[in-house]
Amino acid sequence: MFRKKRFQKSRLLMSVSLLLASLSIWTTLAPFSQAETSSIPEGSYQNFQYDFQIEWATESWITEENISPSLSNALFAMYVKADDTKTIYGKPTNYVEIDVFERQKNQNLEEWLSKNTSFDKTTQKNLTIQGGEELITGTDLGFVGYKAAAIEGENFIYYITIAENSSYNDVFADIVSNFDVMPLSSFSDVKTDHKNKTAIEYLVKKGVLQGYSDGTFKPDQTVNRAELLKIFIEGQDRTPDEGKYKNCFPDVKSDWYAKYVCYAKEQKWIQGYSDGTFKPEQTVNKVEAIKMLIETYGLLNNSSFYTSTEITAPETGYIDTDNLAWYAQYIALAKQKALLEETGISFDPSGGMKRAGIAENLYRLLQIQEKNLTTYPGVIYTEWKTYVNLGEGYQMEYPSTYSLKEIDTRQTKFEKNTETYFMTRVQESYKKEGKEFAYLDYSPTDVAYLGDQQGYMYILDKGYCDGPGCSPPMVVVAAEKNEKIYALEFYNTTKLNEEQEDIVRNFKFL
């Protein structure tokens, strides 16, 4: 958990307490001194994606994330609410709402309030808090007299509201006074928009993961067998005795990782190789890592975590995995519980497990356990369909969320919501002097291997012009076979995302 600012005299506490006490609109606020000595358990919440953390001291109040925001342009919205609260029109009656908005460059808080809310300036009070963040409190008439507080962060603006006639003003004041804008990132190579930032920051705060002395995390660096065991064991808040756990394999003596490896061996989570060694420094591939995660957390022996059908009839759901392989039950269970971030058609089972990837897998499992969930929320694994073009001799997989339209035998559109997302195009090959490969007069800049196919697709760095007007930004991926050029054209992008990479990876010649 993060630091207990309430007991360390929060940087906000005294200033905001004095401010709120002076405002006539703030009624029935519980004295902050009572919160400091209260025996009621203190609640806390961190959001690493949007860089904030809060605390409150009220009995039986919980959080609910990803709600429908009261203001439509919010990036994220959540409640802190009574867990037994009644609802009116789908909304709880006793709650504090926190909405997060993108902060435009050089935009100040008053400008944002005037543009996005019905803030009553006659009730407005301004305060600049330590670190340069600005806090504005008052009443929002658009919320039918809701009390509101707006806080300015580096990249986001946070808007906190509660009904003016609520009997829980103390919770609102508690959250406002203990609101803390966190650093954008603990590491120079894990930016705000990094897809695994929440998982990485959470595990770092928990003490499970660490960065490097140069201020980086190295999210794309692969992990070895010893490192992985350390992550999983410390993720359970276990610290094996280094005096007891050592010398359990010929290649595991008294090294830093010995206590983790030997403890895992005693728990029967791991076995060595046929030559008796453990190979602690060997890189772990993705299916090995998922097996170790499930084994070390005892998920196969936890009847409340899975149903028997998930284990006896495993379906991994990935085109590059084998449902009969030793790892199938582990991948099937992990996907069933949404522990896997690979939402497409490929898993890359033999690929090395990266630090960011295993952070995501472990974070999702811990969230399920800590919040008593049945699966990690908000993850949708896309179903895929197969398209076969016998005339031109190729086959491809595409997401079921797309519809296809064959223009002719050589051109096929793939659309979503009536908008063309990508096309397949086949044309006669033509060679030009000095060029190894030619498609629409552009040379290749990179290549992508076509799975088990006999060749590569060349990734071209530019789009093409058609008539008087040019196409939007696009990435063209093309291959040459039997004197024909096969091209995938992805529109409105300059870089392939994971879904598009899956489409390319699973293109096959017949």
CA 68 – CA 263 distance, rounded (Å): 46
Q: Where is 52: in which H helix or E strand?
A: strand 52-56
Contacts of 505 (CB under 8 A, 6+ apart): 346, 448, 449, 450, 451
234-288 confidence digits (pLDDT tens): 988 898 999 999 999 999 999 999 999 999 999 988 888 999 999 999 999 999 9
- Domain ranges, residue 67: 5-181
Mean pLDDT of the chain: 76
Residue at 402 is within a domain:
yes
Residue type, 139: T
Confidence at residue 131, expressed as pLDDT on a 0 to 100 scale: 54
Residue at 187 is within a domain:
no
What are the distances in angstroms from CA 151 to CA 75, 157, 469, 483? 15, 6, 46, 62
Sheet of 43-47, strand order: 43-47, 52-56, 180-181
Instruction: Compute the CA torsion angle 191, 193, 196, 201 (nearest 10 deg).
Output: 50
142-165 confidence digits (pLDDT tens): 755 578 888 888 788 999 988 766
Statement to judge: residues 366 and 388 lie in one domain: no
% of the chain at pLDDT higher than 70: 74
Give the domain-ending residue among 315, 347, 370. 370
Confidence at residue 257, expressed as pLDDT on a 0 to 100 scale: 94
Tell me the pLDDT band of 336, cut-offs 50, 70 and 90. confident
Residue at 175 is within a domain:
yes
Is pTM, for the whole model, over 0.85? no
Q: In this predicted structure, which of 309-313, 345-349, 406-410 has the lowest mean pLDDT?
A: 309-313
Residues 31-58, mean pLDDT to the nearest whole number: 61
Give the domain-ending residue among 370, 399, 423. 370
Contacts of 313 (CB under 8 A, 6+ apart): none
Total domains in the fold of the chain: 3
Q: In this predicted structure, which of 46-60, 244-258, 468-482 has the lowest mean pLDDT?
A: 468-482
CA 479 – CA 458 distance, rounded (Å): 6
Confidence at residue 3, expressed as pLDDT on a 0 to 100 scale: 36
Tokens 């359990």 — which residue? 248
CATH number at residue 503: 3.40.1000.10
166-195 confidence digits (pLDDT tens): 777 788 888 888 888 877 677 888 887 788
Residue at 451 is within a domain:
yes
Confidence at residue 90, expressed as pLDDT on a 0 to 100 scale: 62
Confidence at residue 427, expressed as pLDDT on a 0 to 100 scale: 72
Q: For residue 395, which of 452, 468, 441, 470 has the smallest C-alpha distance?
A: 452
Strand partners, 57: none
Residue at 375 is within a domain:
no
pLDDT of 431 above 70 = no
Contact 224, 354 (CB under 8 A): no
- Burial class of residue 456, CB neighbours in 10 A (0-12, 13-18, 19+): middle
Give the domain-ending residue among 181, 211, 229. 181
Tell me the pLDDT band of 219, cut-offs 50, 70 and 90. very high
Residues 397-414, mean pLDDT to the nearest whole number: 88
Statement to judge: residues 242 and 141 lie in one domain: no
Tell me the pLDDT band of 22, cut-offs 50, 70 and 90. very low
CA 197 – CA 175 distance, rounded (Å): 24
Statement to judge: residues 220 and 302 lie in one domain: yes
Contact 496, 385 (CB under 8 A): no
Statement to judge: residues 166 and 32 lie in one domain: yes
Confidence at residue 489, expressed as pLDDT on a 0 to 100 scale: 82
Helix (H, G, I), strand (E, B) or coil at 302: coil
118-142 confidence digits (pLDDT tens): 888 888 888 765 555 678 888 887 7
| Residue 83 tokens, joined | 């867990």
Contact 362, 208 (CB under 8 A): yes
Tell me the pLDDT band of 36, cut-offs 50, 70 and 90. very low
359-369 confidence digits (pLDDT tens): 999 999 998 88
Statement to judge: residues 31 and 104 lie in one domain: yes
Residues in the chain: 510
With both helix axes pointing from N to C terminus, report the angle between 286-296 and 355-370 in degrees, rounded to the nearest 10: 30
Helix (H, G, I), strand (E, B) or coil at 468: coil
CATH number at residue 157: 3.40.1000
Residue at 192 is within a domain:
no
339-353 confidence digits (pLDDT tens): 999 988 889 999 999
Statement to judge: residues 205 and 343 lie in one domain: yes
Tokens 């959080």 — which residue? 63
Statement to judge: residues 220 and 249 lie in one domain: yes
Of all residues in the chain, what percent are helix, strand and coil, respectively (each to 5)? 25, 30, 50
Statement to judge: residues 445 and 407 lie in one domain: yes
% of the chain at pLDDT higher than 90: 22
CA 483 – CA 504 distance, rounded (Å): 20
Confidence at residue 486, expressed as pLDDT on a 0 to 100 scale: 82
Residue at 170 is within a domain:
yes
Statement to judge: residues 160 and 265 lie in one domain: no
pLDDT of 42 above 50 = yes
CA 23 – CA 452 distance, rounded (Å): 70
Statement to judge: residues 414 and 493 lie in one domain: yes
Sign of CA dihedral 296, 297, 303, 308: negative
Confidence at residue 355, expressed as pLDDT on a 0 to 100 scale: 95
Full DSSP string of 171-183: HHHHHHHT-EEPP
Tell me the pLDDT band of 19, cut-offs 50, 70 and 90. very low
Tell me the pLDDT band of 436, cut-offs 50, 70 and 90. very low
Q: Where is 362: in which H helix or E strand?
A: helix 355-370
Residue at 83 is within a domain:
yes
| Residue 94 tokens, joined | 């006793």
| Residue 11 tokens, joined | 């940087």
pLDDT of 456 above 50 = no
Statement to judge: residues 113 and 218 lie in one domain: no
| Residue 260 tokens, joined | 């983790």
Statement to judge: residues 171 and 203 lie in one domain: no
